[in-house]
């Protein structure tokens, strides 16, 4: 046995589970009454959601003037939040698609939740481009539909139209990916449900899935296809988001480094958010056997990798500015580091570059509270990264007479909190109603790392 253990990779799932146990472990918490802790969490997150909804309703009825924007700084919290949430969304697709293509089987424990996170994050993100417009009731004009105006189409040269297409495609594909992945599990729920409504609902949603292998075969193909399509998609989405800035003329925005820089940043923040959520979920839902310390360890390695890329990008930006010979460009970066928002800049660098360095140490990577804290800090840092990029470039651009500062209003802060409220509310509901772990996939990796014994079934 000892030799076998050395020869084999470590098991992905701990506790020597049987297949039925897996089903039970994941589904049982959903079927039981929600715990008090869950109710408390839902209460908190939904009150934030309500706060945000009220803020948005107020903003839409009164005007964008209820935000702290001005004629110099036309975007701040709104687009910061948008990019932040879109970035968060990237880890889900990364885990489900890219890791799938790389045959990283450890993803199975976390991909469901990560994908859910993606969808919720994209939903949070999608709110902001709509509400940031002065007339959100006309936001649909960004879609090129036949109309009575000539017809007058849209401007396909505008990165905002690219955004519109990228985000809606990304949301659609992610949702489909998630749903396809969930199909066998929905069937499982349907078949073991005792509550009538649950059986009915799962019955409708599971599309009559019955585990037929002919379906499984195509399922695997489609899943691979979606993963294959999702991988360039996820990269394109944040690339396009970065073009919102990179195609502009503003110093500090107008940079070719933005696409890889933003994609790395997105994955970085997304991984941190996945880790945060997984650490919460494994505690709350007692899934320590499925989301093991090794999972956390591996994800931490991804975090440190992307952190290094982001750190390199920060350095490159400064170098490019220095090398450009453009005094506007040089000024913008000096202004970031030493100007009025220096604290934001150094928060960003500290949280995104310095703090993750702790993850070089295995002891840190396997220390759950430490990882949790680092991940929270990374997300704070990544929020500030977007804020700094947007606000410092806008507030002090070419003509000094235009310079002005920016300060958020209560409405903006409430909207940001509301987006977190929406995110966590959806996540909590997800935990209650949908298997947090991809049951069918985990079953497939159960034997991973276990000696294959002929008589495994006495």
Q: How far apart are CA 75 and CA 97, in angstroms?
A: 32
How many chain residues bind other proteins (CB under 8 A)? 131
| Minimum CB distance to other proteins smaller for 37 or for 207 | 207
If one asks whether residue 46 binds other proteins (CB under 8 A), the answer comes out as no
Q: How far apart are CA 388 and CA 390, in angstroms?
A: 5
| Minimum CB distance to other proteins smaller for 112 or for 365 | 112
**Is the link from the previous residue into 151 a cis peptide, with omega within 30 of 0?**
yes
Q: Using CB under 8 A, which residues numbered 226 to 245 contact other proteins?
A: 226, 229-230, 232-233, 236, 239-240, 243-244
Q: Using CB under 8 A, which residues numbered 247 to 276 contact other proteins?
A: 247-250
If one asks whether residue 145 binds other proteins (CB under 8 A), the answer comes out as yes
Handedness of CA 387, 388, 390, 394 (dihedral sign): positive
| Minimum CB distance to other proteins smaller for 213 or for 256 | 213
Angle between helices 111-131 and 36-62 in degrees, nearest 10: 20
Give the containing element (helix H, strand E) for 291: none
Q: Which CA distances in Å does 38 have to 44, 54, 224, 280, 425? A: 10, 24, 35, 11, 10
Least distance CB 264 / other proteins (angstroms):
19
Least distance CB 330 / other proteins (angstroms):
3
Q: Which of 2, 138, 194, 256 binds other proteins (CB under 8 A)?
A: 138
Q: Which of 120, 162, 372, 424 binds other proteins (CB under 8 A)?
A: 162
| Minimum CB distance to other proteins smaller for 208 or for 315 | 208
Handedness of CA 121, 203, 183, 225 (dihedral sign): negative
| Minimum CB distance to other proteins smaller for 35 or for 217 | 217
Least distance CB 339 / other proteins (angstroms):
6
Least distance CB 37 / other proteins (angstroms):
28
Name the burial class of residue 192, with classes exposed (0-12), middle (13-18) and buried (19+) by CB atoms within 10 angstroms of its CB: middle
| Minimum CB distance to other proteins smaller for 168 or for 367 | 168
Q: How far apart are CA 234 and CA 87, in angstroms?
A: 10
Q: How far apart are CA 119 and CA 121, in angstroms?
A: 5
Region of 110-118, 171-179, 287-295, 345-353 interacting with other proteins (CB under 8 A)? 171-179
Q: Using CB under 8 A, which residues numbered 51 to 110 contact other proteins?
A: 58, 62-66, 68-72, 74-75
Q: Using CB under 8 A, which residues numbered 192 to 211 contact other proteins?
A: 192, 199-200, 202-211
Q: Is 285 left (phi over 0), alpha (psi -120 to 50) or beta?
A: alpha
Angle between helices 213-246 and 258-284 in degrees, nearest 10: 130
Say which DSSP state 48 is in. H
| Minimum CB distance to other proteins smaller for 361 or for 398 | 398
Measured in whole angstroms, the distance separating CA 285 from the mean position of its chain's CA atoms is 21
Asked if 384 and 351 touch (Cβ cutoff 8 Å), the reply is yes
* Other CB atoms within 10 Å distance of the CB of residue 223: 18
Least distance CB 193 / other proteins (angstroms):
10
Q: Using CB under 8 A, which residues numbered 340 to 399 contact other proteins?
A: 394, 397-399
Say which DSSP state 353 is in. I
Residues with Cβ within 8 Å of residue 116, at least 6 apart in sequence = 92, 178, 426, 427, 430, 434
Least distance CB 122 / other proteins (angstroms):
14
| Minimum CB distance to other proteins smaller for 226 or for 380 | 226
If one asks whether residue 334 binds other proteins (CB under 8 A), the answer comes out as yes
Least distance CB 169 / other proteins (angstroms):
4
Which of 176, 175, 199 is CA-nearest to residue 27? 199
Q: Is 221 left (phi over 0), alpha (psi -120 to 50) or beta?
A: alpha
| Minimum CB distance to other proteins smaller for 35 or for 210 | 210
Q: How far apart are CA 312 and CA 128, in angstroms?
A: 29
Q: Which of 11, 92, 159, 181 binds other proteins (CB under 8 A)?
A: 159
Region of 115-123, 346-354, 379-387, 405-413 interacting with other proteins (CB under 8 A)? 405-413
φ, ψ for residue 260 (rounded to 5)? Answer: -65, -35
Q: How far apart are CA 38 and CA 30, in angstroms?
A: 12
If one asks whether residue 456 binds other proteins (CB under 8 A), the answer comes out as yes
If one asks whether residue 315 binds other proteins (CB under 8 A), the answer comes out as no
Q: Which of 50, 53, 191, 370 binds other proteins (CB under 8 A)?
A: 191
Region of 45-53, 286-294, 325-333, 358-366 interacting with other proteins (CB under 8 A)? 325-333
Q: Which of 133, 316, 320, 367 binds other proteins (CB under 8 A)?
A: 133
């Amino acid at each position: 046995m000892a030799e076998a253990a050395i020869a084999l990779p470590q098991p992905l799932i701990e506790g020597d589970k049987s297949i039925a146990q897996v089903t039970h472990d994941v589904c049982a918490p959903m079927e039981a009454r929600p715990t008090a802790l869950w109710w408390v969490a839902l209460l908190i997150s939904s009150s934030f959601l309500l706060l945000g909804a009220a803020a948005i309703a107020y903003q839409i009825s009164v005007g964008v003037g209820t935000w702290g924007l001005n004629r110099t700084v036309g975007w701040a919290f709104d687009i910061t939040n948008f990019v932040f949430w879109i970035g968060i969304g990237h880890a889900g697709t990364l885990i489900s698609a890219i890791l799938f293509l790389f045959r990283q089987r450890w993803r199975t424990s976390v991909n469901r939740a990560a994908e859910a996170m993606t969808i919720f994050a994209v939903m949070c993100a999608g709110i902001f481009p709509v509400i940031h417009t002065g007339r959100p009731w006309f936001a649909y004009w960004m879609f090129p539909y036949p109309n009575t105006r000539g017809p007058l189409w849209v401007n396909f040269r505008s990165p905002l139209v690219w955004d519109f297409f990228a985000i809606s495609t990304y949301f659609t594909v992610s949702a489909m990916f998630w749903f396809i992945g969930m199909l066998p599990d929905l069937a499982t729920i349907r078949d073991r449900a005792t509550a009538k409504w649950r059986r009915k609902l799962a019955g409708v949603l599971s599309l009559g899935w019955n585990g037929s292998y002919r379906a499984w075969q195509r399922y695997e193909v489609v899943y691979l296809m979606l993963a294959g399509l999702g991988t360039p998609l996820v990269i394109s989405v944040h690339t396009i988001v970065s073009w919102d800035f990179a195609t502009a003329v503003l110093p500090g925005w107008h940079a070719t480094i933005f696409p890889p820089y933003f994609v790395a940043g997105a994955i970085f923040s997304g991984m941190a958010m996945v880790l945060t959520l997984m650490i919460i979920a494994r505690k709350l839902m007692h899934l320590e056997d499925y989301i093991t310390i090794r999972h956390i360890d591996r994800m931490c390695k991804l975090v440190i990798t992307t952190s290094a890329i982001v750190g390199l990008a920060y350095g490159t930006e400064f170098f490019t500015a220095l090398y450009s010979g453009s005094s506007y460009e040089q000024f913008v970066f000096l202004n970031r580091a030493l100007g009025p928002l220096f604290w934001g800049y150094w928060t960003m660098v500290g949280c995104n570059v310095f703090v993750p360095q702790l993850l070089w140490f295995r002891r840190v990577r396997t220390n759950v509270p430490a990882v949790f804290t680092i991940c929270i800090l990374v997300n704070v840092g990544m929020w500030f990264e977007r804020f700094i990029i947007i606000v410092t470039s806008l507030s002090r651009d070419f003509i000094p007479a235009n310079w002005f500062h920016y300060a958020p209003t209560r409405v903006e802060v409430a909207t940001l909190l509301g987006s977190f409220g929406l995110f966590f509310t959806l996540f909590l509901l997800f935990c209650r109603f949908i298997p947090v772990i991809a049951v069918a996939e985990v079953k497939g990796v159960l034997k991973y790392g276990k000696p294959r014994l002929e008589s495994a079934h006495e």
